[in-house]
Amino acid sequence: MARDHPRDPLAFRSAGGAAAKTETGDRSVCEAPARGARAGAGGRKPALASGDSARGFGAGACNTCHVATRARQLNIGRLGEIAQVAARHGFGYVFDGRRRSPEEGAPSARGRHLREMLDELGPTFVKFGQLLSTRPDVVPPDIIAELRALQDDVRPFPFGDVQRVLREELGQPLERLFLEFEPDPLAAASIGQVHRAVLPNGRRVAVKVQRPNAPKQIEADLALMYQAGRLVKERVRLLDFIDTREIVDEFARSIRQELDYRHEARNADLFHRNFAGHPHVAIPRTYWTYTRSRVLTLEYLEGVQLVDLELDRWSLEQRRRLAYLIAETWMTMIFRHGAFHGDPHPANILVLEPERIGLVDFGLAGKLTDQDMSRLTRLFIDAANENIEALPKRLADLGVVYAKDREDEFVSRLHEFYTRYYGASLQEIDPIQIIREAFQLIYAMNLRLPTRFVLLDKAIATVGSVGADLYPDFNVFEVAKPYARSLMLERFTPRRVVARTRREGWELAHIATELPHQIHDTLEQMRDGRIEVGFVHKGLDEFMHKLDVLFNRLVIALVVTGGLIGSSLIGIFAKNGPHVLGVHVLSVLGFLLSGVLGVWLLWGVIRSGRL
């Protein structure tokens, strides 16, 4: 079969990866080349419609029962390699014996060093970096910008393994499953690789096949990440506010989901149903007969990738219409469907016709519930009415976590942010700058955001950037405004009000029926003396550690003082026994021991920096 795609694995990106992570997850192999040769204006470049990661919201359990949950023994050789790579890129302080802050440096330099270190450590760590790029609550904006450039790229595995996995998963040899199957993969990544094929009915498809040893390798790397996270937590003081174990747990859940390709298939199926019959948007069909936990088969879309579009052959008006078509597609997903594609990168958008686009790579997807939309509506209303003091509560209702003792500072920063843009027209506002400043505020306040809203912010920011590249005067807020307005109006239609009243009435009725039982249970526990009161003191462990060090030093100081006094008394009153230079030998030994302990104590104080 003739091949129209360039064979550049970097262009296709990963077949099993995570583009995360802001690109939050590797981009699908089915992406056409992101930096390949430019296609002609009329040329049609096939693009696979298979996503890469499976971090969507499809139901189903990840088929990893055969994998050990977490390695109990540390791979010392691999950890030593990690330490060497970290030291080479300026992060060696994580593995030395002291707890301290990282060296100061230019923000762009530290982000670049971290990106290069993760890239050198391999695909699993690249995916972890992609996850971090979606966490503005724990990672500074300059580092996020660098981590978004991470790409997952590995060598393909043998075609014999592909045939074996297909036989094990689909129960038939490859020759009976497909009329044609290209032995050379279009792209390969750490979890799988994608092949182009033709079904017996003549349909062209993209088939993603998982690596045989992917689960084992991922579990080994996860065990190392837990160890590295513990070291970072213990020895990097600036990261005290980050729960490194929680971040690694989040990554572990994400990447283990990727091992079940049915999650991505469900996402693709949902988007396909939502846009069924749409005149301007095409979503590839899922072939469930040829899809299993380790095999994903999607319709093969043909078109010119947006990243390869020769814009100089398009008129300004055509580019404007294309930019607004893309933005309206995402606004429809967000505000009407409640389920949105999480990675609107130009490599995931195909131009099928001048006013028709196709989407690929459904591994990264977000879902907003009806309750989320109601709470967002209240947030919009308060923002429109300049009720800034209510915004922290509205954000807390959405799941945003912030320190209550910093609420006044939070409100003050929101006032400053609001004042800067209030009254300006949409044409005067740079949406990318606003989102960048919002991420800076999130990091400065140590806010904790639910993943779905981080993904939503990132998707809107990416759509804004893509639109601006196509049409310089594009403003994503202009597209979002009518959708947001219709959302607010729809929330208060009689049908919605009645439905909400009915739902909340049932909830209140349930609470009222449960209340007497809860009061009775509480009184019984008080009577039986079984009431437990939990007490949490933030920072108590650090305080106890400092107190322990203080008492140890005090004891050593007392021993030194006692040794000096005792040795002096022995030297004065002891007349019998061996003497050295006229001083009793026990007195000499006491002075030496006290001197050694005193020097050790002084060195410890100097080393701590608290002399």
Q: Which residues are catalytic?
A: 343
Contacts 24+ apart (CB under 8 A), 430-434: 431/460, 431/461, 431/464, 431/475, 431/476, 431/477, 432/461, 432/464, 432/465, 432/468
Residue among 211, 252, 210, 245 at smallest CA distance from 229: 245
526 vs 184: CA distance, rounded Å: 71
Q: What is the 3-state secondary structure (H, E, C) of 341-391?
A: ECCCCHHHEEEEECCEEEECCCCCEEECCHHHHHHHHHHHHHHHCCCHHHH
Q: Which residues of 362-394 are buried (b: 16+ CB within 10 A; e: fewer)?
A: bbbbbbbeeebbebbbbbbebbeeeebeebbeb
By the 8 A CB rule, do 379 and 398 touch? Answer: yes
- In angstroms, the first-to-last Cα distance of the chain is 75
By the 8 A CB rule, do 442 and 136 touch? Answer: yes
CA triple 44-48-53, angle to 5 deg? 145
Residue among 430, 474, 428, 145 at smallest CA distance from 311: 474
- 539: region left, alpha or beta (phi > 0 left; psi from -120 to 50 alpha): left
48 vs 298: CA distance, rounded Å: 8
Q: What residues have CB less than 8 Å from 218, skipping those under 6 apart?
A: 124, 190, 191, 255, 256, 259
Angle between helices 123-132 and 107-121 (to 10 degrees): 140
By the 8 A CB rule, do 341 and 365 touch? Answer: yes
528 vs 291: CA distance, rounded Å: 57
Residue among 468, 404, 412 at smallest CA distance from 435: 468
**What would the two tokens of residue 537 be?**
């003191």
**What would the two tokens of residue 55 be?**
């971090």
Number of Cα atoms under 13 Å in the Cβ half of residue 47: 37
Residue among 222, 295, 232 at smallest CA distance from 254: 222
By the 8 A CB rule, do 356 and 301 touch? Answer: no
42 vs 317: CA distance, rounded Å: 18
**What would the two tokens of residue 301 be?**
């879309």
231 vs 92: CA distance, rounded Å: 11
